[in-house]
Amino acid sequence: MSNLNANYKRILKVLRKISKEQLLTYQRRKPKMSDLELISLSLTAEFMSIDSENDLFRNLPKSLLLKIERSVYNRRRRNLFKQTNVIRLKLASFFNNFENYFVVDSMPLEVCKLSRSTRSTVCSENIETVPNKGYCASQGSRYYGYKLHAICSVRGVFQSIDLSPASVHDINYLKDIKDQISDCTLIGDRGYLSAEIQLNLFETCNIKLNTPMRNNQNNYKKQPYVFRKKRKRIETLFSQLCDQFMIRRNYAKSFDGFKTRILSKITALTTIQYINKFIFNRNINNIKISII
């Protein structure tokens, strides 16, 4: 943990370029740790694969430990969800503002083992956000939890993310992206094959949806190799989220806590990409690397 403080200072310095210190306006007393400092600490923990708050607070430098208690950290972190997403979008805009090609895909996020799903109370406090059972075609297995939907640029920077119960079909996510991207080509797999959605996206926001055709379709044409190659970029990002950021490991008990953990991991990934590009001028997708 000797590098925790140095990594924290690096990330905080980056965030101070694009955001103010206090992001919430209703605080009665000025906290010892500002909102931006708290977000920076959260992103530092995710970058360093510190997935447990117990572990984080056991190893915090004394200078940071005196500023905040663990329960306060947890509550304020959840309250700063929207502000954290604004920071993520600002960082992504440095890469994606002039992008013409994006990739869409989804990945399963298991909340608990399928055998425990009938008695699990994790994320079940609200009927609208309760997890359910779904099927992952790429893994050939059923699971209980949520599905992460994401759109990234062909360079590998997430533009849009969303969570849905596991049973929701991938194609439904495309109905909600019209106000997030436009005038571009969107590359997906066969899960997004829909002539109706394809036409609607093109007519409403000039999005050209490109997916592989089924072998038994009329006028079958193989998807161009360049699109098939670019589609692998988002799969690599998902692998990095599973490896270094341990996105499939869940300690949250509420949906607010769950979605905050997922957003923090993706924002941390985007922050490291920004540091790689604009501070060290190196490959943005080399994530397991020093930022000091």
Domain 99-249 matching CATH 3.30.420: the answer reads yes
> Which two structure tokens, joined as six digits, stand for 281?
């001028």
Instruction: Give the pLDDT score at 166.
Output: 95
Q: What is the pLDDT of residue 206?
A: 93
Residue 60 predicted with pLDDT over 70: yes
Q: Which of 135, 131, 137 shows the shortest CA–CA distance to 118?
A: 131
Query: At 2, is the pLDDT very low, low, confident or very high (cuts 50, 70, 90)?
Result: low
At 224-255, the pLDDT tens digits run 888 889 999 999 999 999 999 999 998 899 99
CA distance 151 to 140: 23
Q: What pLDDT is attached to residue 29? A: 79
Q: Which residues pair with 135 in a beta bridge?
A: 142
pTM of the model: 0.94
Mean model confidence pLDDT for the chain: 92
Ramachandran bin of 94, using left for φ above 0, alpha for ψ from -120 to 50, beta for the remaining angles: alpha
Give the start-to-end residue ranges of the domains of the chain.
99-249
Q: For 107-152, how does the pLDDT look when each residue is reduced to its tens digit (9 = 90+)?
A: 999 999 999 999 999 999 999 899 999 999 888 899 999 999 999 9
Q: What's the pLDDT tens digit per position in 39-58?
A: 999 999 999 999 889 999 99
User: Is 50 exceeded by the pLDDT of residue 169?
Assistant: yes
Q: Select, from the ranges 23-32, 62-71, 169-178, 278-287, the one with the highest average predicted confidence (pLDDT).
A: 278-287
Q: Which residues contact 109 (CB under 8 A, 6 or more apart)?
A: 145, 146, 147, 148, 163, 247, 248, 250, 262
Does 1 have pLDDT greater than 60?
Answer: no
